[in-house]
Amino acid sequence: MGRAADASAGVQVRRRGEGVTFWSDRLFRTVVVTCASVLGLLLLFFAYELWQSSTLSVRTFGWQFWVSREWDPVRERFGALPFIWGTLVTSIAALVIAVPLSLGTAIFIAEVAPRWLRQPVSFVVELLAAIPSVVYGLWGMFVMVPWLREHVQKPLVERFGHIPLFAGPAVGVSMMAAILVLAVMIIPYITAVSREVILAVPQAQREASYSLGATKWETIRRVVLRYARVGILGAVILGYGRAVGETMAVTMVIGNRPDMTLSLLQPGYTMASVIANEFTEATSPLYLSALTEIGLLLFAITLLINALARLLVWRVSRGEVRY
């Protein structure tokens, strides 16, 4: 792929020179450049609109907004800390569950499974990404949450209730429910990118390891994963970006309560879910502005995460990362 692109580079440069001789070609080029510019403008536009709409909140609360735990729409006192906390806890815990499972699955698809099984397994995992968020939420609300409450949370509270992490009561809708749904939702992304990165490891690396008497697992762990680790890190960060921005499914199972609690069994709130849940109910300009400011932060965070992940994955696919 990379070589093909290189080979066509010369042709492209030449073609560009020829292209501008005709008015139609010049028009064509102008049109596609304009289209491409829309992509950049979109980003700027998002940033501008979010900034514009949140100025009222920014001016009213200043830095207090990010460190205040108070969220009181009636008295119009707004602080985003509970949502930042909820987003951090759910996304990181989801990552802890999703990363090993995704890596295992990616390794299974790329290295372990017999050839005929690879396509079907990949297909099923990709289906996971195709299921809409709101459908995960529906299933989570009516199937997973009641099941969790009865079969996981109640026993946990009984046995480990004294540990803050599992403090009761068992109410079902909880950070735990959000974490599980999030984990399932980001697994297909991490798996797909990791699989690609693993498949891109040169066969010569595997052969070198085998020829030294390494087992398949030793080859995977010490050579393949090591070679692919930067790309896998990119995949994980990409998945993390998804987890941070995921909205509907989380809103439907997390309980939407702006408390900061250590207990995974208690309801929480995330940045995305507070926007989804309260935006249409927000009546005052300050309330709306505060919600938009949370949106602005969410935008900035996901922007950074994605930029970082893309840079990593790109460097790998262009073969720049070696050691």
Partner 1 sequence: MRLSRAHELWRRFLNMASLALTGICAIVVMAPVFVILAYLVVNGIRSLNIEFLTSLPKSPGETGGGMANAIVGSFYMVGLALMLSLPVGVGAGVYLAEFGRTRYAHVVRFMADVLNGVPSIVIGVSVWALLVVPMRSFSALAGGVALSFIMIPMIARTTEEMVRAVPNVLREASLGLGATYARTMWSVVLPAARGGIVTGVMLALARVFGEAAPLLFTALGNRFWNLYLDRPMANLPTQIYEYAKSPYEDWHRQAWAAALVLIIVVLVLNIIARVSTRERYRALR
Partner 2 sequence: MTTVMFPRQEEAIAPPPPKISTRNLNVYYGDFHAIKDVSLDILPNHITALIGPSGCGKSTFLRCLNRMNDLIEGARVEGSVLLDGQDVNDPRTDVVALRRRVGMVFQRPNPFPMSIYDNVAYGPRIHGIRRRSVLNEIVERSLRQAALWDEVKDKLRQSALALSGGQQQRLCIARVLAVEPEVLLMDEPASALDPTATFRIEELMQELKSQYTIVIVTHNMQQAARVSQYTGFFFKGELYEFGETAKIFTNPEKRETENYIRGRFG
Q: Which residues bind partner 2 (CB under 8 A)?
A: 115, 202-215, 218, 222-223, 226-227, 322-323
What percent of the chain is helix, strand and coil (3-state, nearest 5)? 75, 0, 20
**From CA 104, how far away is CA 47, in angstroms rounded?**
38
Quick check: 236 binds partner 1 (CB under 8 A)? Answer: no
Choose, by CB under 8 A, the member of 80, 84, 95, 107 that binds partner 1.
107
**From CA 164, how far away is CA 159, in angstroms rounded?**
12
> In the complex with partner 2, which residue's Cβ is closer, 108 or 210?
210
Partner in contact with 147, chosen from partner 1, partner 2, none, beta carbon below 5 to 8 Å by kind: none
Choose, by CB under 8 A, the member of 66, 68, 81, 141 that binds partner 1.
141
Quick check: 18 binds partner 1 (CB under 8 A)? Answer: yes
Quick check: 102 binds partner 1 (CB under 8 A)? Answer: yes
Choose, by CB under 8 A, the member of 143, 208, 212, 262 that binds partner 1.
143
Q: β-strands 77-78, 71-72: how paired?
A: antiparallel
Enter the tokens of residue 212: 């030294």
DSSP secondary structure letter of residue 222: I
> Which of the ranges 40-48, 76-84, 170-178, 227-235 carries the binding residues for partner 1, by CB under 8 A?
40-48
Locate tokens 């490891």: which residue? 201
Show contacts with partner 1 in window 173-202 (CB under 8 A): 184, 187, 191
Choose, by CB under 8 A, the member of 81, 152, 199, 276 that binds partner 1.
276
Enter the tokens of residue 177: 């429910």
- Letter string b/e over residues 178-212, b meaning 16 or more CB atoms within 10 A of that residue's CB: bbbbbbbbbbbbbbbbbbbbbeebeeeebeebeee
Choose, by CB under 8 A, the member of 92, 142, 165, 169 that binds partner 1.
142
